[in-house]
Amino acid sequence: MTKEEKELAEAGYEHLAQQKTHGEKGGEAELDKVDIQEHQLPFKELESELDTSFDPKDPGQSAGLSSGEAKARLTRDGPNILTPPKKKSALRKYWDCLMTMFNVLLIIAGILEYILLGVNFKDNFANTYLGGILIGVAFLNALIEFYQLQKSEAILASFLAMIPPSCRVVRDGTLTTIPAADLVKGDIVLVRSGDKTPADLILFAASDLKVDNSSLTGESEPQERFARPDGVQSRPVEAENLLFNSTLVVNGEGWGVVVRTGDHTMIGQIAALTGNETGKKSPLAVEIGRFVMMVSSIAIIFAVVFFVVGITTVYKGNGEQTVTFAVSILVAFVPEGLPSVVTLLLSIAAKRMAAQNVLVKDLQGVETLGSLTLLATDKTGTLTRNQMTVTNLWSGLRMFSAFQSNNDSQTTESFSIDAPGMREMVDIAALNSHVKFDRTDVAFEQRKILGDATETGFIRFAGKHISDYDGYQKQHARVFEIPFNSSNKWALVILEKQHKDGILTAYIKGAPERVLAKCSTYLKDGEEVPTTDEFKAQYDEAYDYMASRGHRVIACAQKLLRGDIYDESYEFSKTDAKYPSTEYCFCGLISLEDPPKHGVREAIGTLRLAGIKVMMVTGDHPKTAEAIARKINLILGETKETLSKKTGRPVEEIYDDEVDAVVIHGDDIDSLQGWQWDQIFAKNEIVFARTSPQHKLEIVKRAQALGHIVGVTGDGVNDSPALKKADLGIAMNISGSDVSKEAANMILLDDNFASTVKGVAEGRQIFVNLKRSIQYTISHSTPEVIPQLLYVVVPIPLPLSAILILVIDLGFELFVALSFAWDKPETKDGLMRMAPRKPVNDRSITTLKKRALRRTKTLRRDPETNEVIRPSRLAQLLARVRAPFTRQFWEDALEGSDAETLVDGKLLSYAYLEAGVIEMVGALVAYFVVFFKNGFTPGDLRRAQTALTDSPPITYFTKSSPDFVNSRGEVISASKQVDALGQAQSIVYLSIFIIQCFNVFAVKAKFRFPFGRSIVGNPYNFAGILAGACLGVFVIYTPPLHVVFGGSYHLSPLYWLIPVAFGVLLLVWASVRVLLMRKSIEQSRVKDIKGLMMFPTMRTMSMRSRH
């Protein structure tokens, strides 16, 4: 690569390299102020201090508190909850809703009308209504938005109340699960890997326990925690026997006694650490903000220009009337009802998604899901069921199948407990596993097994082949153990199990490569045989056989400990490696399958056909991950490794462009350079395996740097940093940890990955519906503004008063614009076969990187450290002001892009220049026809209006006007003039309404002509039209309302046929538009993907075994 190419590849990522992950540190001084001393006490003193009872030797037999005592303490100390961070008051929230640009413009316009009232009350009395309505509309808009926000917050609060954090506690001598809020001082609590610590605990028993204290201390590495019988004389934050509320248990398990609850805990005492909310704007919020600013700027510019034109021509020196006129222009341009429509549309969509088991925390997250370009998903528990089932066993060079499976080869034997090596395998599965049961007073088959998915799979399998499981466990008591952890990747147990050379047996199980390294012999037909190259070749073949089917593979080994070395008095210790670690006998391999969830294969296929890149990010083995990916449509093509196997060519000789799939090992992620990241994301099929939480976060950041809108699905604690960073975090409700649910923007209530497909379809449809609604709403700006322009330039009598413009914008427009929320997709799979609206391709990435490179070259840096010196706020503001006057700004703005925004050139062209012009011409034709029928030719109208500038000025079309003589010599009295103007203004209002009724269906025509079931199939459209028609007829034909709105009940319905004709013309134009745009729409469709399997995955073997 050339230097320029390397610079360009790194450009988009430079800001990531500069970010150093600083944990949120509470200052040292604050951590020292914390009032916790109990960690210094020995166990006996601790028991008496807290008035409780625990057993460090056998923690499961601890008595704990009685229910009555716990209830009394709860009443005394209060619930174990942190006082929530101070939130904005309802008034402050309402104020924020009110202070949006549109509302501010309306309020200013309304206040101006009231200022005019003070200047000249008599002449401006009619403006009382206008000013009041304008201000009222702003407050109503804010109220609707505020109400919807409160409602969505209430729904979320009720959901979170439904699933309160829970914990395992010993009450009345029994281990039970209770809500964490009910914990009290002195309670005995059991915590396991993946749990969030429910209160501040002192440990009295622990097994390989590690916690993540990064949220408190900023230490990124997990900290080991131990039971210390004599207490620890150190600061609380450094105490090895103390677990803090809300920290994560990342490894092992421990028993602790509660010493602090609620606000008295460490995290409760450090106020600075509570409520650190991140206000990341959704793509939709950014676009709506941009649109509001654009329309507001146009409205202000036009209002100022029209004020200047008006005061220098038709209203010479008459400032008050000119202000009212400028206000009417402002009102015509600003779509007053839009904020309410957007909020209501999103609320309706969120409600619909909740009915499909998708809970949206943030309303705009609904649309974000529709605009995703990349979905990074965890494997275990998200794509698969997290229910491990033993499938195959390999021992003594023979393969056995634990179930009758269609996948196994013909040489595979059926499992039998009497086959050589099988008894040892079952013993290792049963005796070297860490699980608990919900209850032990029922038969083994009826118990619920609590623990790691792999461990529960082993116990479920072993329990079938051991008649008295509990008795067997007691018979072989544990002497020493080293639990599984992520660095060792194996678990060791030494127990009392007699053999011919002694009374102790060591069992080890774990990652195959780690276990095999400890073995010197293998078990064959009950004998220990030395390992050979032939054995290792057979082992590799067996391992590949299991892993290639997507199974998790675990190796088992044993060592029969000689009694002359390892007797009853031998002291085992893991700290100084006083335990047998070599010379084991390899018993065999056990494979477990975690089957894909039903519907996952079709869901991923559908997402890929929708142009969304779906990639797997998992901690599992690359071979297992790839095998599962191939089952579920995630990988269809060849990777370098599979192509190498097929063709016999070395992997190094295969070019990158020959393959379309890639499997990346987590160990390689830290060393990847910018151009390598680009190559990875250029592939259509990506799997990251053996990843850590930091890797997941890095992957999300790298994808976002390329312009991807990233969704992340996950259920574990380790997914939460990535869920928070993603544009849309999607958590699982049933299997998900509390931490992941807190971090996510969206929760799948039924844990069904397929629900994301419904969500994407809903998100895309809501974008289309929002776009239609905006397109429809701003179409009436041209027929409202141009007649005002003619009123000043020609001039002619005012075709539409400001108050009638408001009736259009807030009357029928609001009803109809809302009805788009219930629009169904235009075609069955139309939207789900289109590329995402902001596709990420070579063109978009190159543009992004060129801009990033330009930015990095203009940054100021510290000459010594080379760190970027951030510009001041004033400098940033000045740069923004100067930007529009630079060539680069306009080059960037006018650069072509494949992205579709909410308000783009096509929408503005349609609304202002196509539909807008048809509506404007239709309204003006009707206006002139009505005046002509009342005796005024266009020339007469101009003459009557220019009389205002004569000297002395003559005002026509009022009750006190003189008679007007038209070009035909007819005399028209003042009352007839007023009625003619009323009829003309009424027909302009009705024309806009009638043509807009046709526009409802014209804006929907994208894939098909504006007729047919999919276009007219929304009954709410007709309800909106009916409501608008009732309002229009009521306003125009009700005499008492003429004082406020003008209008005339003499207007003949025959005149309605004029706008109807123009409405038909609009539908004809919409049909022509469909034909013109058909080719470009066809090009943006996602092409068929060869090899997609759009049928369900087979029922799993574990399912089959139940029938």
Q: Supply the residues annotated as catalytic.
A: 378
Element (H, E) at 545: helix 533-547
511: left (phi over 0), alpha (psi -120 to 50) or beta: beta
CB-CB contact of 453 with 387 (8 Å): yes
Alpha-carbon distance of 620 to 690, in angstroms, equals 5
DSSP line for 371-402: T-SEEEE-STTTTB-S--EEEEEEETTEEEES
Q: Mind spelling out the 3-state secondary structure of 207-260?
A: EEEEEECHHHHCCCCCEEECCCCCCCCCCHHHCCCEECCCCEEEEEEEEEEEEE
Distance CA 332, CA 1069 (A): 24
> Using CA of residue 112, residue 115, residue 116, residue 121, what is the dihedral sign?
positive
70: exposed, middle or buried (Cβ count in 10 Å: 0-12, 13-18, 19+): buried
Residue 590 contacts residue 454 (beta carbons within 8 Å): no
The one-character DSSP state at 868 is B
**The two structure tokens encoding residue 931:** 């005046």
Q: Where are the alpha helices (DSSP H) in 89-245?
A: 90-98, 101-119, 127-162, 214-217
The C-alpha atoms of residue 273 and residue 403 are separated, in whole angstroms, by 52
Spell 948-969 as b/e; 16+ CB within 10 A means b.
Answer: beeeeeeebbeeebeebebeee
Nearest to 923 by CA among 821, 993, 976: 993
Helix axes 915-933, 938-946, angle to 10 degrees: 90
Q: Report the alpha-carbon angle 874-877-878, nearest 5.
A: 85
Question: How is 666-720 classified by DSSP, letter by letter?
Answer: HHHHTT--HHHHHHHHHSSEEEEES--HHHHHHHHHHHHHTT--EEEEE-SGGGH
Alpha-helix runs per DSSP H in 19-100? 28-32, 43-50, 67-77, 90-98
Beta bridge partners of 615: 376, 686
Distances (CA, A) of 609 to 419, 679, 708: 49, 22, 17
**Hey, what amino acid is at 854?**
R
Neighbouring CB atoms inside 10 A of 854's CB total: 12
Cα separation values, 280 from 284, 439, 725, Å: 12, 46, 9
Of residues 723, 608, 594, 644, the one with CA closest to residue 663: 644
**Coil/strand/helix, residue 506:** strand
